[in-house]
Amino acid sequence: MIDAINLAILIGAGLVILSTLTSLVSQRIGAPLLLVFLGIGLLAGQDGLLGIQFNSGGTAYFIGSLALAIILFDSGFETPLRSYRLAAAPALTLATLGVVLTAGLIGVAAHFLFGVSWVEGFLLGSIVASTDAAAVFFLLRVGGLKLRDKVKATLEVESGANDPMAIFLTAMFVELAAAQNNPDFGFNLGFIWAFIEQIGLGLVIGVIGGAAVAALLNRLRSLDAGLFPIAGLSTALVVFAASGLLGGSGFLSAYVAGVVAGNRRVIFPQRIRRFQVGMTWLAQIGMFLTLGLLATPSEFGAIILPAIALAIVLIFFARPIAVWLCLLPFKFKWREKLFVGWVGLRGAVSIMLAILPGLGGVQNGETFFNIVFVMVLASLLIQGWTISFAAHLLNMLRPHGPGLLDRIELELPGDAELELVSYRIHPESSVAIGERVPRWARPVLIMRGSRTYSIHNIGHLKADDRVYLFASPRQLDILDKIYASPADPENPSLYGDFVFDGDIKVSDIAQQYGIQTVDLESDETVGQYLEREFSGEPVVGDRLSVGNVDLVVTAVLDDMRVEKVGLIVDPESIERPSMARRFTNRVRQSIRKFRSRKATDPAIQTTEIEKPSQAS
């Protein structure tokens, strides 16, 4: 017994190591890594070199579901809300209507190519109708393709959100196919309610679960560094499992939880990301190895030709037609539609869904698995191997111009947020044409060619210099304007959205923008406040964060007094004061105004003096 366990561990760990090492070779020849992992599983399976006997569809589905939950959570965690603002409508249309259209077109083709019933044809179409999140995220992120923002956002959101529709259609047609020989066979409207329930519960549980993940992580500040990311990922798996038990879509919940948690402020985010990168790789390798072990290539002979023909219909007709129809209402160019249609990769999700007909009692359920496996291989070979070429051919890549090169989040004690960022200086930027770098934006290291310099011995910065500096995330937009964008004299936003005199009181600014960190009773002016903060030597460009706004020195008099101040507002994070706080602020403001009038209005002064004598 112990020897069998050790042998299983030896083989499993050996296959993972082999997959890892083989990735180096596959990257050199341009082969899709997921295809390599699948191929190693085939070579180790019962028809391969090791002859491992593995035929448990239930175990494979369990491993695949667990791995996919990890991948989807990480994918959501790395998807900014900006992607949804860019492409939510077209991506969700593809994730719902696009899946239905693809399933219908493939179902018709399968009916004629394999001679199966219409229900079985649509079952086969449903299994391969969704793009594979693991394959798409892997190729777009790990593969190093820098796609244009709208196209990338569309593909990421679609691949993360289209699994529930495919799973629902597959489960529905599995039940219909299993019941075909039943005289009471008929369509049950309960399927529609089940779908609504899955999507609705999946979304709600995902949102609640994502907020819970973020809240839990923020409370575990003192937890050991090794346990911290484990707690986060384990909570995400709890969300996945709980959603499935309650009737929701666990895959959708895992993805939504990742989106919610990833777009909230979480302590030590870099620690979480490093851990999840490793876990995602392990999940990818384990999932594809397991599915490769489950396949039996000796059974492919009877179906390989029609399966390849069906894959060609999917790649060259069904997916492009569905994409073209779904994107008609949106402003996509023909090249963008063509590329989105081409990145319709099929992978682990389709193979996992192909296990369901056998588990659900569909006659010849193993045949569905073999057909889908061949189609996935064809998709990875044809599409996966040519995505980079297609991106170049259709001009879908972002230009590799000067700009932000890298950003590394630093883990600091407390609530401090700081990143090490690197820029390549734009030839037409304000810095490159000789303007002074603001004191707060000075780099700590400059690379010119192969030599390194400090800001004190390099002289003027030049185009294509690489600069490294520490900054908070809220400063990146301004740093982009300084280092990575052409100088624009007409655009004053570098020094603030609003510019006002330095003699305005700090308390008035605090009231207007709901800043809770400033003493509202203080009579100090903004100019005096900045002079004090910069030790009596303010210079133009000096910038200070106060609550949720930044104050920028825009003009200084000869005696070092601040004459003009710019205000930069972050509207998404302004802390709006409570109703009671706003009421109190208005009362205080009214009292101050009244006192100011009293000091200059003789009528008010006389009234105040005469009141005691009247009372007596």
User: Which sequence spans correspond to the domains of the chain?
Assistant: 2-393, 403-490, 495-577, 578-616
Span 145-193, pLDDT tens digits? 678 888 888 988 888 788 888 888 888 888 888 876 555 555 555 667 7
C-alpha 251, offset from chain centre = 16
Q: Which residue has the tokens 């994070």?
A: 573
Is the predicted pLDDT of residue 425 greater than 50, yes or no? yes
Question: How sure is the predictor about 238, in pLDDT bands with cuts at 50, 70 and 90?
Answer: very high
**Residue-level pLDDT at 575:** 41
The C-alpha atoms of residue 233 and residue 388 are separated, in whole angstroms, by 32
Q: Which residues of 392-430 are buried (b: 16+ CB within 10 A; e: fewer)?
A: eebebeeeeebeeeeeeeeeeeeeeeebebbbbbbeebb
End-to-end distance of the chain based on CA atoms, in angstroms?
Answer: 105
Q: Which residue has the tokens 């996992």?
A: 352
**Is the domain defined by 495-577 classed in CATH 3.40.50.720?**
no
Q: Which residues contact 405 (CB under 8 A, 6 or more apart)?
A: 422, 423, 424, 466
The C-alpha atoms of residue 285 and residue 298 are separated, in whole angstroms, by 23
**Residue-level pLDDT at 159:** 84
Mean pLDDT (whole number) for 28-48: 75
Higher-confidence position of 282 and 12: 282
Question: How sure is the predictor about 608, in pLDDT bands with cuts at 50, 70 and 90?
Answer: very low
Span 97-151, pLDDT tens digits? 999 999 999 999 999 999 888 999 999 999 999 887 777 777 666 556 678 888 8
Higher-confidence position of 252 and 221: 252
Position 50, amino acid: L
The answer to whether residues 249 and 198 touch, using CB atoms and an 8 Å cutoff, is yes
Candidate ranges 391-395, 544-548, 570-574; pick with highest mean pLDDT: 391-395
| Average pLDDT score, the chain | 79
Beta bridge partners of 501: 564
**Residue-level pLDDT at 371:** 93
Q: What is the pTM for the complete model shown?
A: 0.70
**Residue-level pLDDT at 414:** 57
Q: Which of 310, 401, 250, 395 is nearest to 102 (CA)?
A: 310
Is the predicted pLDDT of residue 615 greater than 50, yes or no? no
**Residue-level pLDDT at 241:** 93
What would be the CATH architecture of the domain defined by 2-393?
Up-down Bundle (1.20)
Q: Which of 297, 288, 217, 243 is nearest to 41 (CA)?
A: 288
Is the predicted pLDDT of residue 219 greater than 70, yes or no? yes
**Residue-level pLDDT at 140:** 67
**Residue-level pLDDT at 132:** 79
**Residue-level pLDDT at 609:** 32
DSSP-derived letter for residue 484 is I
Q: Which residue has the tokens 């939504």?
A: 256
Higher-confidence position of 251 and 492: 251
Distances (CA, A) of 601 to 85, 553, 595, 605, 611: 54, 35, 10, 7, 16
pLDDT above 90 as % of the chain? 19
Q: Which of 143, 137, 138, 142 is nearest to 157 (CA)?
A: 137
Mean pLDDT (whole number) for 568-597: 51
Write out the CATH class of domain 403-490: alpha beta
**Residue-level pLDDT at 182:** 57
Is the predicted pLDDT of residue 80 greater than 70, yes or no? yes
Span 433-477, pLDDT tens digits? 877 777 778 888 988 888 888 887 887 888 888 888 888 776 777
Span 364-392, pLDDT tens digits? 888 899 999 999 999 988 888 888 888 88
The C-alpha atoms of residue 403 and residue 375 are separated, in whole angstroms, by 41
Task: Compute the Cα dihedral for 579, 580, 584, 590 and give only its sign.
Answer: positive
